[in-house]
């Protein structure tokens, strides 16, 4: 059956008329903050105390946008007769967000949970050279990271916690041996 001439025009005008009569919904962004999904990828926050300068994040970054500088520091022996230890001390941790593609590989490979996604997204700059943010700014963003969701109440307990609990119960149930001098 052949279409009626002008039916397409009538359908298009009907859609236009329906759209015109609907009330528009406008987000008043600068005045009202948007409701972001819980796993929003904004910027990367740094929890500096957990960073051991292992350089995994910088090595695994496909864009090479993470810059880390450190130096070794000697820590004196904890006990008399012990040996001195050396540890890395973080001097510089910076991320160039003009290069970053927000893939999250750096966060995934960090074995010490020093990097987290922050939902913060207002960090625009007028000059592209100012998009390299140093550790003080990354640390500020760390405090905007939402807490992780609660564990599922029906979930199985992690193996590490179960093993620790069993050991603690065995130690608590073991009879205490009398010490010398106890009567």
Residue 74 and residue 84 in contact, taking contact as beta carbons nearer than 8 Å: yes
Q: How far is CA 131 from CA 94, 106, 127, 164, in A?
A: 10, 18, 8, 45
Give the tens place of pLDDT for each residue, 105-158.
999 999 999 999 998 888 888 999 999 999 999 999 998 888 877 778 888 887
pTM to 2 decimal places? 0.67
Task: Check whether 176 has a pLDDT greater than 70.
Answer: no
Residue, of 174 and 103, whose pLDDT is higher: 103
Q: What is the mean pLDDT of residues 56-83?
A: 93
Residue 66 and residue 138 in contact, taking contact as beta carbons nearer than 8 Å: no
């Amino acid at each position: 059956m052949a279409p009626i001439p002008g039916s397409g025009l009538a359908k298009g005008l009907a859609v236009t008329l329906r759209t015109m009569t609907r009330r528009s919904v406008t987000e008043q962004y600068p005045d009202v903050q948007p409701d972001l999904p819980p796993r929003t990828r904004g910027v990367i926050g740094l929890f500096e105390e957990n960073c051991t300068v292992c350089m995994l994040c910088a090595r695994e970054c496909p864009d090479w946008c993470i810059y880390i500088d450190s130096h070794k520091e000697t820590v004196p022996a904890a006990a008399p007769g012990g040996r001195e230890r050396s540890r890395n001390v973080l001097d510089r941790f910076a991320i160039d967000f003009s290069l970053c593609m927000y893939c999250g590989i750096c966060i995934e490979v960090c074995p010490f949970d020093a990097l987290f996604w922050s939902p913060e997204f207002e960090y625009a700059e007028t000059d592209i050279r100012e998009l390299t943010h140093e550790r003080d700014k990354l640390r500020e963003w760390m405090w905007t990271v939402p807490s992780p969701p609660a564990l599922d109440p029906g979930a199985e307990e992690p193996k590490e916690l179960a093993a620790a609990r069993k050991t603690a119960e065995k130690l608590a149930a073991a009879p205490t041996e009398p010490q010398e001098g106890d009567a």
